[in-house]
Amino acid sequence: MAEVGQSLKIGDASLPNNVLLAPLAGYTDFAFRKLCYKFGAGLCFTEMVSAKGLFYNSEATKKLLHLAPEEAGRTAVQLFGGDAAYMRAACESEALAPFSVVDINMGCPVPKVYKNGEGSALLADMPRAEAIVSACKKSGKTVTVKFRIGLTKAEPVAAEFARMCEGAGAGMITVHGRPREAYYAGEPDYAQIAAAKAAVRIPVVANGGVFSRADAEKMLAETGADGVMVARAALYDPHVFAQILGRDEGWDRRAAVLGQIEDMLPFYGEQFTLVQMRKMAAFYLRGEKGSAKLRAELFACPSVARLREMAEEIFA
C-alpha cells in the first residue's frame, strides 16, 4: 500500500511526493500554485484550459497558462474539449510547449461544459473519450486523465473507463470518487476508486474529501491508490499540504495574502487582482471568530491598497 508522502512516477516525470493539488477553475492560478508548492504539493495543475480557446488564440485562455519562474518544468496543464483533433492541436501548440504533462478533464460536472459534450459528458461516450486520449498521446506529451466514477451512482464506470485510459496511452489517472450527479457533495465512493486501481497498472490518484492527513491515509488504505489529490481543502488553507505531509511549517495568512497580491498585480492588473484576492482572503478566514462580518468587509474592499491594509489588520 502506498504511504502518504512517497514519491510518484508519471511517465518520465518523478514527483517528490504523492499529494497533488487539483485543478480548480477560477482558483489555481500561478500565484496560488506557488503557495501550494511552498507548502509541499507534489504536483500542481493549471486551471481548466479550453482546447478550442487555444485554437482560436483566446487571450483569456492563454492567461491561464502563465507560470511562475519556480514552476518551470514541474506544473501540469489541464486541458478540456470534446474533439480529438482540437485536443491534439492544443497539445502540439506553442502555448503548451512549457508543459510536459497534459491532464485531460473528463470529470467537470458543470452544465455549460457537460452540455457541450466535454468534461464528464465523455463518461457516456467511451469511443470519443478514447480517441481524445490517443490523439493527445500522439503529440508526444505525457498524458493523464481526471474523471469521475460515472454520471450516476447507480451506473458506475470507473474500472472500465480506467482500462480505456490506460489502453489509449494515459500515464496516470485521477479518479474523483463521486458521480457527476453528486457534484462535490457526499462521501467519496472508495470502492469505485479501488475498482479503477485494480483494473490498471498505471498510477492512480484518488480525489474527493481529502481535508487532512487522516483523510489522506484513509483514502490510500481504502482504495489502494498511489496518491491523493487535494481540492477545496487547499482553498481554505494551502498549508494543508504541509499538514498532510507531516512538515513543521507555520501558516502565515498575512504573508500569503500579501505575497499573492505582489505576484499577481504586475501580470493581472489592479481589478482582477482585487477581485481574486478578496475571494482568497475570505477563504483564509475560515474558522476565525467574526469571520462573516470580516468577509463582508473584504468583499466591499475598493482597492488593492486597502486590501493590503486589511490583510495587515485581519491577519496580524
- Residue 171, classified by CB atoms within 10 Å of its CB into exposed (0-12), middle (13-18) or buried (19+), is buried
Integer Cα distance of 155 and 124 in angstroms? 10
The catalytic residue among 108, 136, 165, 301 is 108
CA 127 to chain centre: 25
Rounded Cα gap, residues 273 and 276, in angstroms: 5
Is 280 strand, coil or helix?
Answer: helix
Strands 8-10 and 13-15: antiparallel
C-alpha cell at 314: 485581519
Q: What is the DSSP string of 129-160?
A: HHHHHHHHHTTTSEEEEEEESBSSTTSB-HHH
Q: Which of 225, 287, 309, 268 lies closest to 62, judged by CA? A: 268
Q: Is-catalytic flag, 108? A: yes
Which residues are the active-site residues? 108
